[in-house]
Structure 1
Amino acid sequence: MKEAIQFLKELQKELNTQDVDCQAAPRFWTVGDYKWVETSEDNAERYTVVLPNAAECYPVDSYIESAKENGEHSEEDLKKLDDCDDDLDDILRWIQDHDEEDAYLVPEKEIHVVKPNTMFITKAEAKEHIRLNQHHYSHKAHTYAMTALRAPKVAKVWEILQEFDWDSVENAVNHKRQQEGY
């Protein structure tokens, strides 16, 4: 019982002193991250080359860098790739001529996502989770504060955690033990 009360006292102190990230109470933290999704050409931030026969896809810049480094193409072919000068139609033709004729480009944009199955009472716990599990996230992963909107039971639990006098429980337990002769 003493360990549980000590845990609740420490949690209360952390809840009452941590940064609230401009989020209304009751607040909790999740993991925010980014991912690339298909979009219209008007909104494209990058293009990905899809190689259907190889069941692979790469951002165009990464594909070009890899093509230059992997040693599979002649100097003459790489010069032709350089001559494409970021013209996506020319780059796609080069890829179709040199790697896969069925290749095509997909316009993409990066969006923010809240990672599912992540919920933390404290920001520090969320940060530690990201640190320990960084292999599951991009290098842009971060804590993301949210509010349990219109959730009266969550609000009540948070209120208890933040405001309850845990010393009074500890004192009551100690007093009862003294009366019982412990």
Structure 2
Amino acid sequence: MNQDIQFLKALQNELKTQDNDGQAAPRFWTVGDYEWVEAREENAERYSVYLPYIAESYVLDDYLEEIKDDSELSKEALTELQEIEDYYEDAIEWIQKYIDEEAELIPERKVHIIQPDTMFLTKAEAKRHIKLNKHHYTSEAHTYAMTAWRAPKVERLLKILETFDWKSITVSK
């Protein structure tokens, strides 16, 4: 029981003194990150190529670099690739000619996401989680503060945790 009270006292202090990241109470932290999603052509920040014959997608620029090292391609194909690699439409035509005739060019843009199944009472705990689980996230993962909007029980619980007078409790041994 005493260890639980010590834990709650430490949590209370942390809740009262941590940065709120400009977020209204009641607040909690999640993991924010970024992912690439399909986009309209005019919003594209990069392109990927989808190869139906192997059911895989690759970032186009990375894929073209990888192909250059492919010794199975003819000199003619590699020479042609050198000439067109900066033009996406030409690049997809080249891939369709030499790699997969059904290949598709996919415009993508990077979007901010909130990782599912992440919820922390303190920013420090969220930071620790990201550090210990970085293999699940991109290098851009970060803490992301959120408000538990119109959640009266969460609001009441956090208010109790932040304001309870722990000196008023006597622990019998």
Q: Give the TM-score normalised by structure 2.
A: 0.94
CA distance in 1, matches of 2:144, 2:74: 48
- One-letter amino acid matched to 1:157: L
CA distance in 2, matches of 1:165, 1:126: 26
Contact 2:50/2:105 (CA < 8 Å) preserved in 1?
Answer: yes
Is residue 164 from structure 1 mapped to residue 164 from structure 2 by the alignment? yes
Shift of 1:77: 2.5
Shift of 1:75: 4.5
Write out per-residue CA displacement over residues 111-145 of structure 1, whole angstroms, 9 at most, x where no aligned residue: 11111111000011111111111111111111100
Partner of 1:108: 108
Unpaired segments ≥5 residues, structure 1? none
CA distance in 2, matches of 1:95, 1:56: 14
Partner of 1:154: 154
Is residue 90 from structure 1 mapped to residue 90 from structure 2 by the alignment? yes
Partner of 1:44: 44
Tell me how large the CA RMSD over aligned residues is. Answer: 1.3
The number of aligned residues is 173
CA distance in 1, matches of 2:62, 2:44: 16
Identity of aligned residues (%): 57
Larger radius of gyration: 1
Shift of 1:72: 3.4
2:119 is paired with a residue of what secondary structure? coil
Alpha carbons of structure 1 residues 68 and 23: separation in structure 2 relative to 1, 3 Å: same
Is residue 19 from structure 1 mapped to residue 19 from structure 2 by the alignment? yes
1:112 is paired with a residue of what secondary structure? strand
1:77 is paired with a residue of what secondary structure? helix
Partner of 1:63: 63
CA distance in 2, matches of 1:54, 1:91: 18
1:106 is paired with a residue of what secondary structure? strand
Q: Tell which deviates more after alignment, 81-90 or 51-60.
A: 81-90
Partner of 2:125: 125
Partner of 2:29: 29
Unpaired segments ≥5 residues, structure 2? none
CA distance in 2, matches of 1:36, 1:130: 20
Write out per-residue CA displacement over residues 74-122 of structure 1, whole angstroms, 9 at most, x where no aligned residue: 4443232121141111101111122111111011111111111110000
Partner of 2:77: 77
CA distance in 2, matches of 1:71, 1:121: 54
CA distance in 2, matches of 1:135, 1:70: 29
